[in-house]
């Protein structure tokens, strides 16, 4: 009987240790899985500037995700919105010179805007106008303006930047095809980059 009591007390003491060990092993498995599926560029960005990474993640998740979190479709919407913003910014720069509101910008119209611009901005405006004037006739038509704005938008949002946005799905820890900010924070802590 004493042996049974002694054996039961030893087992009782060992149980919490076994549970803690099992949690540690499963936690390490999660870390290993995260490291394996997280691209190196994302790990490097996260570890180099954790606060910036959290701000980017929060902006993406809270700005484009719903109450359940951010989905892959939400990320594609964010990418489309970035492209649209960039196109609008590019078009606006030259459309400010469209004095007669005909959706084209002549060199004479541009000259009016150039007189009021700073020296640096004058150079930029001339380069933008010349780049957009595909047929080299001195007038940037609406079609040329849209084409140039699309080219600049594509250049502004590189493949690397789009990939970084899409890589946010790496942090879907619970497998529900959505990422929440808490999951990103937990993943950062597990990967040694606490915010």
List per-residue pLDDT tens for the chain, 195 residues long: 443 333 334 334 443 433 333 344 456 777 787 778 888 888 888 888 999 999 999 999 999 998 899 999 999 999 999 999 999 998 998 899 999 999 999 999 999 999 988 988 899 999 999 999 999 999 999 999 999 999 988 888 888 889 989 999 999 988 899 999 999 999 888 887 766
* pLDDT computed for residue 143 by the predictor: 95
In whole angstroms, what separates CA 187 from the centre of its chain? Answer: 17
How far apart CA 14 and CA 26 sit, in angstroms, is: 18
Which neighbouring-strand residues pair with 69?
66
Length of the chain: 195
> Which among 114, 115, 116, 109 has a CA at the least distance from the CA of 141?
109
* pLDDT computed for residue 32 by the predictor: 80
pTM to 2 decimal places: 0.72
> Which among 59, 67, 86 has a CA at the least distance from the CA of 149?
86
């Amino acid at each position: 009987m004493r042996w049974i009591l002694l054996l039961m007390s030893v087992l009782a003491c060992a149980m919490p240790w076994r549970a803690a060990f099992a949690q540690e092993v499963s936690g390490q498995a999660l870390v290993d899985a995260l490291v394996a599926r997280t691209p190196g560029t994302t790990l490097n960005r996260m570890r180099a500037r954790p606060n910036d990474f959290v701000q980017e993640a929060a902006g993406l998740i809270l700005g484009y995700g719903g109450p359940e979190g951010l989905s892959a479709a939400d990320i594609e919407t964010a990418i489309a919105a970035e492209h649209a913003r960039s196109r609008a910014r590019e078009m606006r720069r030259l459309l400010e010179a469209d004095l007669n509101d005909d959706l084209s910008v002549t060199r004479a119209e541009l000259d009016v805007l150039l007189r009021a611009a700073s020296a640096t901005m004058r150079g930029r405006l001339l380069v933008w106008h010349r780049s957009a004037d595909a047929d080299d006739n001195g007038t940037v038509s609406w079609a040329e303006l849209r084409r140039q704005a699309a080219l600049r938008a594509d250049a502004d949002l590189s493949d690397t930047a789009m990939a970084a946005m899409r890589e946010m799905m790496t942090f879907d820890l619970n497998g529900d095809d959505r990422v929440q900010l808490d999951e990103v924070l937990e993943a950062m802590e597990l990967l040694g980059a606490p915010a």
